[in-house]
Amino acid sequence: MFEDFATERVRLAESDIFVRHGGDGPAILLLHGHPRTSATWHRVAPQLVSRGYTVVCPDLRGYGQSRGPAFTADHAGYTKRAMAADMAAVMHTLGHTRFALAGHDRGSYVALRLTLDHPDLVSRVALMDCLPISEHLARISTDFATRWWHWFFFAQPETPERVINADPDAWYRGDPDTMGAENYAEFRSATRNPDVVRAMLEDYRAGILLDADHERADHRAGRRLRCPTLILWSLRDDLEQLYGDPLRIWRGWADDVRGHGIDSGHHMAEEAPEALADALLTFLR
């Protein structure tokens, strides 16, 4: 994976971030979702590099090979605001003062926060398979609670760790043929690490509490995404089934929003890398 990419660790005040980066040209930062690592981009990143972009793929704090701060009762160390500050610092360390940004799943919440908190850094943003957390919570229905029950299970203290760590392979599953053997091996190593599992749960715990409050405060203050915004969603996942056209909701958050569905299951970077790369390259032009 990631032929000709460099790997390094960026040591920050609260975290230690593992990052892959390669290419030459305008920079784009790619942020993975749960329970993946930066390796999820292994079929997309080379396509962007071949078209003249510098591509940066970090593991979010606590995920994969990155490490975050000690866990606390308020979950503050795993807010999207803290993760976004990591990403801003990583890009600064790598010499990128302004860059494009794309995030999938949990990474999309970090990308949203990074764009809202540091608008001078982000030239354009692509958000995949997501709505703002506060928008999900404002629309809770029986259908949502049945499909997305894991949000509320992960928010419980202690029990999720005990359940998941009893058999992480069965919990997280994954398919090496679909994911690619090396990506699968990296994902499996991460999900067998109880510290990574706890950090991923802290991400969700911060999400429905602190992160949702941060988003509501943004809305009250009139903060929006001012840069061009691309919304992509997996047609074989359930975002459109739950809410109809996601662009309708995102227009309440962004000035310049466009997007479409991708014929894929949830992990589109692995399942539909060509279609995803084409969508990103068209947006980046």
For residue 104, indicate whether it is catalytic. no
CA distance 233 to 77: 29
DSSP code per residue over 91-130: HHHTT-SSEEEEEETHHHHHHHHHHHH-TTTEEEEEEES-
The residue annotated as part of the active site, out of 59, 86, 104, 105, is 105
Closest C-alpha to 89, from 15, 30, 8, 199: 15
What are the tokens at 69? 């701060």
Q: Is 282 exposed, middle or buried (0-12, 13-18, 19+ CB in 10 A)?
A: exposed
The residue annotated as part of the active site, out of 34, 118, 219, 266, is 266
Q: Is 159 exposed, middle or buried (0-12, 13-18, 19+ CB in 10 A)?
A: exposed
CA distance 267 to 239: 13
Residue type for position 130: C
Instruction: Give the phi and the psi of residue 198 in degrees, each rounded to 5.
Output: -65, -40
CB 65 within 8 A of CB 197: no
What are the tokens at 113? 């926060």
Cβ atoms < 10 Å from Cβ of 260: 13
**199: helix, strand or coil:** helix
**3: helix, strand or coil:** coil
CB 250 within 8 A of CB 223: no
CA distance 254 to 269: 24
For residue 105, indicate whether it is catalytic. yes
- For the annotated catalytic residues, the residue numbers are 105, 266
